[in-house]
A and B are shown apart, each in its own frame.
Chain A
Amino acid sequence: MTIKMNAQLRWRKFVSNFMLTMTGVCALISVSVLFFILGYLVYHGGASINWDFFTKLPAPVGESGGGMANAILGSAKLLLLATLIGVPIGFFGAVYLAEFSGSTVAFVVRYAADLLNGVPSIVIGIFAYAVAVHPFGHFSTYAGGFALGIMMIPITLRSTEEFLLGVPRSLREGAMALGASKWRTIATVIVPAAYRGILTAILLAFARVAGETAPLLFTALGNRYWSNGFNEPTASLPVMVYNYAISPFDDWHRQAWAAGLVLLGLILVINIIARAVLARGIAIPRS
């Protein structure tokens, strides 16, 4: 009797240890993917990054060499436009939700933002094409920036709102008790108290759209030369990575790795900075 019990217990303990070990293996596999990605990019891309990559235009098809200076500038312009569109709408929208709105309006706006956040990026591309390319008859940096800006709105809005709501009630009441009007309270007490969180939200939204490719395919299109102003099609790093990776030329593959490394490096650095900014400030409010 006891021997049988022991055997059963031993079996249950074995199953327990085995399955728990397996969950550890799952975690290990999932996390190691990140290091595989980084390792491959550094290995293949690191060898191909040189000064030309940052300073020269793409070489004509068939010739080797050249760089992606125009794509780097193009990405910067697109992200500037995106920030100018996405951050104000997201930020002020969040202020409205956190400080002014009634529950019904807040529900509608939150719902719309969550819906917008879930829209596949390629569909955002179609929308930007319909609104900002088709009516004007040509692809442009504006259209690409518009598409990326729309993608920044919901991320900025939802996180900013959470951080504003995380500001303690006592701060609000203190300011009101001193006779400050509501908007003064918001501008001088609440937003400054939450600024680390808001900065994090903006940085994460920026990093998220910095690598977006699909919405740019038929808005900013691409360009093998410099793009003047904001009204012409422009090259961008993500689209260059895509076009070069699917091309048949070895030299372009090499440059796709290099561009991928630059792009991923930028995005990971922004992500880490964003989290560092937050870690030194107030605790993260949990949704």
Chain B
Amino acid sequence: MATTSTMHPSAGPVLGSRSFFARLRDGDEIARLITFLFAATVVLITLLIVFELWQGSVLPRHKFGFNFFRTSTWDPNFDQFGALPFIFGTLVTSTVALLIAVPLGIGAAIFLAELAPARLSDALEFFIDLLAAVPSVIYGVLGIFIVVPIMRDVIQPALKSTLGFLPLFQGPAFGIGMLTAGLVLSIMVIPYIISVSREVLLSVPRDQREAALALGATRWESTWKVVVPFARTGIMGSIFLALARALGETMAVTMVIGNTPKIAASLFSPGDSIASVIANQFTEATGDLYTQSLIELGLVLFLLTFILNGLARLLIVLTSQRGASHA
């Protein structure tokens, strides 16, 4: 029996011409089917998430419709659910985060990609990767015990005495609030901006730099006026990626934002974000409408991050293709 295959040379593997049954016998079709089922599970889970979020938020969608996004009363006792304060809080904290993180992150990425010797750049990138691995709740702990006291006693009074004429920096300095949440968020998203921007900057073809330097540009001019514009779509991608992270970030924000659903002009005032209200109220929500309103907030968050991540990936791919086609 063992010699059967030598007696029939046609049964041996002839590339490209093996029949379905031959492949089935070899186990290839079974392996394909099994691995396919696992791959299909990934798609299935993703679809199921969308379905569950949509299905789980039927009640508030029917009852409030678009008013869910336009009203700012969040009162579970009277079944009034308006998401505006949370959307406001999410947008404000994310904006503050980007205002701090974008200049710092891009500056650091320029240093890593353009200035630092390869070995130093790789070593620093290693630390940046570790920073990206620090869990959100740890940032929250440092936020509560270290950042909040510093904000309350040093930074907020200083801002008040210098820029206090702006409504943004008025009111009592609690330490907790939108500004602190934005600051903690910025620290959390900087690693994403640095890593992706560095990759994108490194993909800019060498001749771009050399041409600028040959024309008499200083090193900074070649970087800022030639390399960075060349990579700008990819850098925008890294910013969108960071924004998507900032919008969905839960624990650290929940721990320092103050958890008060109100809209105030001052950045010092406590607020609430979409993610933080879900984290705080989901387990104690009583009644279907309350729970489903929180799920609808989850749906909003899902859609926002979905759109931003899609845009980010598109921009990053476009830039690296441009670098590749140019070289």
Taking Cβ atoms with an 8 Å cutoff, the residues of A that contact B are 12-13, 15-17, 19-20, 22-27, 29-31, 33-34, 36-37, 40-41, 44, 88-89, 91-93, 95-97, 99-101, 105, 108-109, 112-116, 118-127, 129-131, 150, 153-154, 157, 176, 179, 181-184, 186, 207-208, 210-214, 217-218, 221, 238, 241-242, 245-246, 253, 256-257, 260, 263-264, 267-268, 271-272, 275
Known A-B contacts A109-B43, A267-B135, A271-B130; A186 and B31 likewise in contact (beta carbons under 8 Å): yes
Q: Which of B49, B141, B223, B279 contacts A122 (CB 8 A)?
A: B279
Given A26-B104, A120-B305; A19-B224 close (CB under 8 Å)? yes
Between A and B, 7 residue pairs with Cβ closer than 8 Å are A20-B219, A25-B107, A26-B106, A122-B301, A123-B248, A126-B56, A241-B138
Docked CA distance A16–B225 (Å): 12
A92 touches B34 (CB 8 A): yes
Q: Which residue of A lies closest to B284 (CB)?
A: A218
Query: DSSP class of B's interface residues: helix, strand, loop or mixed?
Result: helix
**Contact: B108 with A30, CB < 8 Å?**
yes
B253-303 contacts to A, CB under 8 A, are 255, 275, 278-279, 282-283, 294-295, 298, 301-302
Known: A40-B146, A218-B282, A268-B130. Contact between A263 and B138, CB under 8 A?
yes
3 shortest A-B CB distances, which residue pairs? A211-B135, A120-B248, A26-B107
User: Of B27, B56, B138, B146, which is in contact with the most chain A CB atoms at under 10 Å from its CB?
Assistant: B138
Give the number of chain B interface residues (Cβ < 8 Å). Answer: 90
User: Please, which residues of chain B bring their CB within 8 A of the CB of A153?
Assistant: 42, 45
Of B31, B104, B283, which is within 8 A of A183 by CB? B31
The interface residues of chain A lying within 8 Å CB-to-CB of B104 are 26, 29-30
B32 touches A260 (CB 8 A): no
Please tell me which one of the listed residues A36, A126, A242 contacts residue B137 in the complex, with CB atoms under 8 A apart: A242
CB-CB under 8 A for A126 and B53, given A100-B36, A153-B45: yes
Q: Is B206 an interface residue (CB 8 A)?
A: no
